Amino acid sequence: MNTSTPTPDPRPPKGRDRTKVSWSDALAVAITFAWLLPEIIALVNDGTISSRLSPAIEGGLHFADLSSGPQTMFTVALGLKLASLLCAVFLTTNTFTDMAKGNVFTEKNARRLNVAGNSIVVFFIARLGLEGLANNWAAAELGIDWWGDAGTSTPLSELAPALLLIFVLGALARILRRGAKLEEDVDGLV
């Protein structure tokens, strides 16, 4: 009788690796949301847009004063900024929570930090890219010639912390990935 035995799969079965949300993860996201809430409330209640163009307009920049083009760009920029910041905060705190529990060198932590860094890139593109285009479009519609130095920070001052955070998260992700690989190598030796 010729019975063939199935060859074992060299990879272990991949179960659903679910992310556990701790109270500190939820608290960090709640604090971030509370920090962003005034901008959202001002837009919803008063129609006031908070952007780099706002100080150049007496009484502020109002949603109703703009055509649908800049309105859409401001709305998309605000949505992307909110979602990317909340994502970056959650993933970073969730990674640190896992690390505090002793799960330091894992591929999961490295992936989360990479996505958090990419979320900051999305925030940066939304803040300076989309919102910047919307500001220029709105300034052209409202007849504002010069608004670049309206008492706000420079784009470079917004760029530096974002770049620093992106590089730190990327470096930490690379360190964790390398540590996970070294742990695998060591486990194979023992």
Is residue 153 assigned to a domain? yes
Helix (H) or strand (E) holding 48: strand 48-49
Angle formed at CA 162 by CA 112 and CA 113, multiple of 5 degrees: 10
Quote the number of domains for the chain: 1
Asked if the model's pLDDT at residue 91 lies above 80, the reply is: yes
Record the tokens describing residue 105, joined without a space: 């060198």
Confidence at residue 146, expressed as pLDDT on a 0 to 100 scale = 77
- Is pLDDT above 80 for 156? no
Cβ contact 95:113 at 8 Å: yes
User: Does residue 5 sit within a domain?
Assistant: no
* Segment (H or E) for 177: helix 155-189
* Residue 2 within a domain: no
**pLDDT at residue 134, as a whole number:** 95
What element of type H or E holds 29?
Answer: helix 23-41
Asked if the structure places residue 141 within a domain, the reply is yes
Q: pLDDT digit string (tens) for 121-145? A: 999 899 989 999 999 999 999 998 8
Token pair 């640190």 in the structure block, residue:
96
- Angle at CA of residue 128, ends 148 and 35, nearest 5°: 105
Instruction: Give a yes or no: residue 7 inside a domain.
Output: no
Answer whether residue 159 shows pLDDT above 80: no
Residue 190 has pLDDT above 70, yes or no: no
- CA-based Rg of the chain, rounded to a whole angstrom? 23
Whether residue 100 is contained in a domain is answered as yes
Is 16 within a domain? no
What is the spatial distance between Cα 113 and Cα 171, in angstroms, rounded to a whole number? 9
Residue 100 has pLDDT above 70, yes or no: yes
Read off the pLDDT band of 72 (50, 70, 90): very high
* Containing structural domain, residue 70: 23-189
Residue 16 — pLDDT band, cuts 50, 70, 90? low
pLDDT band at 89, cuts 50/70/90?
very high
Of 122, 126, 121, 115, the C-alpha closest to 92 is 115
Q: Is residue 42 part of a domain?
A: yes
